[in-house]
Copies of this chain bind each other. A is one copy, B any other.
C-alpha cells in the first residue's frame, strides 16, 4: 500500500539524465520502465508503472469505439505517452516532446500524486503549488469549519 508522496527536485545533467527519487523507484517496485503521458490539464507529465496504462486502457474499453471520445482518449493514452527506461542508476532521459510540453530544462520537480507522480519545471510547479494551496483553503472555507485539514474528519 505504498504511494507516491512528497515533492523533490533533481537536476538534469549534460546528457539529459535525471535521477528518479529513490522513494518513487521503490513504489514502482523494481520496474525498470516508466510509463508517462503528457497532462491535458497543465504543463506537466504524469508517470507511473505499467499499471497506469492498463488503467487508462480499461477506461478506453468502456467507451464506444466509434465515438469521438474514444478517438480522443485513445490518442491521448497512446500517442502522447512514452515508455521511458530507468537505467541501472535509477535515471531516465526525458524526450523532446516532454521537455517541450513541460518547459523542463535543467531541473525537474517530482511530485507525488498517490498512484502516479508528476514531473514539472520547478518554476511552473511553484505557481501550481501556490494556486492549489489557495484553492484548498477556499475549498475548506466553503465546506465549513468541519472541513479543515486532517481535522476535517472531526467525527473522531
Q: Is the CB of A6 within 8 A of B83?
A: yes
A8 to B102, CA, bound (A): 17
Number of interface residues of A (CB under 8 A): 59
Q: How many copies does the complex hold?
A: 2
- Complex interface: chain B residues within 8 A of A153 (CB): 55, 59
Determine if A52 is an interface residue (Cβ-Cβ < 8 Å). yes
Give the contacts of A8-57 with B (CB-CB under 8 A): 23, 37, 39-41, 46, 48, 52-53, 55-57
Q: Is the CB of A41 within 8 A of B113?
A: no
Determine if A90 is an interface residue (Cβ-Cβ < 8 Å). no
Q: Is the CB of B82 within 8 A of A5?
A: yes
Q: Is the CB of A149 within 8 A of B41?
A: yes
Determine if A140 is an interface residue (Cβ-Cβ < 8 Å). yes
Main secondary structure of the interface of A (DSSP, over half): helix
Q: Is the CB of A79 within 8 A of B7?
A: yes
Contact of A113 among B78, B82, B116, B152 (CB under 8 A): B78
Contact of A5 among B6, B55, B83, B116 (CB under 8 A): B83
Contact of A140 among B37, B41, B57, B77 (CB under 8 A): B41
A146 to B29, CA, bound (A): 27
Determine if A112 is an interface residue (Cβ-Cβ < 8 Å). yes
A35 to B59, CA, bound (A): 27
- Complex interface: chain B residues within 8 A of A72 (CB): 132, 135-136, 139
Q: Is the CB of A152 within 8 A of B76?
A: no
A52 to B151, CA, bound (A): 10
